[in-house]
Amino acid sequence: MSRIAVVGLGNMGGPMAANLVSAGYEVTGYDLADAARMTAAAAGVTVAASGPDAVAGADVVITMLPAGEHVLTAWDELLPAAPDGALFVDCSTIDVASSRAAHGKAAASGRASVDAPVSGGVVGAEGGTLTFMAGGTADAVAAAEPVLAVLGSRTVHCGGPGNGQVAKMCNNMVLGVSMIAVSEAFVLGERLGLDPQALFDVASSSSGQCWALTTNCPVPGPVPTSPSNRGFSGGFSTPLMLKDLRLADAAADQAGVSTLLGRAATERYTAFLDRDGRVRDFSSIIEDIRETSR
């Protein structure tokens, strides 16, 4: 398992490919965008002329692409071009149905596959500290684990094909909802004369505590490393949060599950992005709550 192909060398796939090079793997890569190809080449990735060329000699093929349609189209081209025993690992965040369809295509071509979406963002991709939520057979996930261990600090096997995507989507629905809840609480407290630090001190050590509060706090001060201290730059962008909330809505529709708060979060983030339009950390939703309050 020493030759790895990475298709999709963007904000996430680029640094992931670079980390694999640093760990001693022979890495070939491909991206549609010139800039991504150039950055990857500078990091030691052998850039191929096409996706199929990139995977031609690979033991493991990693895709890191924007959405389900890109993964399905790419796998249609890549599966027949890869060696017989190649393992396919999709690390993109995509809808569950597309993920399961991609696994089906891999199975039909006789190749093992894993869906392994990530948590940790660009910082995690650069630092090799991602968390992977893996779906697939036990054998396929075990085969992917040594490579994922280079790229991240933890892999959780979530079950069969597509279950990594299910876990990612459910987690991020909690995140979207909880960030709004925390932000509403801070704005309400401010309006009623409560110092944000006092609210943080109470909630972070009592039943209101959650990641949105204690790690990604939407007010500057209590957590110096949170994006609110630097004008909401970096972090997990509002468009990506909205993408994940929409995936959760679509999955809830298909599964017939009532997710009132998840849908409310989608509406709130959609309206915010329409008004604001800036690509900033999703905790900037607190500004929208302030601005749309009387």
Select 199 or 266, whichever has its Cβ closest to ligand NAD.
266
Q: Which helix (H) or strand (E) holds 30?
A: strand 26-30
Number of H helices and E strands in the chain, helices first, is: 13, 9
Query: Smallest gap, in angstroms, from Cβ of residue 78 to ligand NAD?
Result: 9
Distance CA 282, CA 241 (A): 7
Phi, psi (degrees; rounded to nearest 5) at 262: -60, -45
Q: Which CB sits closer to ligand NAD, 101 or 199?
A: 101
For β-strands 87-90 and 26-30, DSSP reports them as unpaired
Query: Judged by CB, which is closer to ligand NAD: 10, or 189?
Result: 10
Q: CB 243 → ligand NAD: shortest distance, Å?
A: 6
Can you tell me the distance from the alpha carbon of 132 to that of 119, in angstroms, rounded to the nearest whole number?
7
The Cα–Cα gap between 282 and 227 comes to 9
The beta-carbon contacts of 137-143 under 8 Å, at least 24 apart in sequence, are 137/112, 137/161, 139/112, 140/87, 140/112, 140/113, 140/114, 141/114, 143/1, 143/87, 143/112, 143/114
Contact 184, 212 (CB under 8 A): no
- Residue whose CB is less far from ligand NAD, 12 or 60: 12
Instruction: Tell how far CA 144 is from the center of its chain.
Output: 18
Q: How many whole angstroms separate alpha carbon 74 and alpha carbon 67?
A: 11
CB of 138 to ligand NAD, least distance (A): 24
Q: Among all residues, which ones are annotated catalytic? A: 168
Least Cβ distance, residue 203 to ligand NAD (angstroms): 26
Residue 32 or 261 with smaller CB distance to ligand NAD: 32
Which residue, judged by CB position, is nearest to ligand NAD in the bound state? 10
Positions in the binding site for ligand NAD (CB under 6 A):
7-8, 10-13, 30-33, 36, 51, 64-66, 70, 74, 92-93, 118, 121-122, 236, 240, 243
- Residue 238 or 259: the one with the smaller Cβ distance to ligand NAD is 238
> Shortest Cβ distance from residue 75 to ligand NAD (Å)?
10
Question: What are the C-alpha distances in Å from 63 to residues 66, 154, 221, 263, 266?
Answer: 10, 19, 38, 29, 27
Query: What is the distance between the alpha carbons of residues 284 and 29, in angstroms, rounded to a whole number?
Result: 35
| Nearest distance from C-beta of residue 42 to ligand NAD, angstroms | 15
CB atoms within 10 A of CB 124: 19
Helices (H), 137-162: 138-151
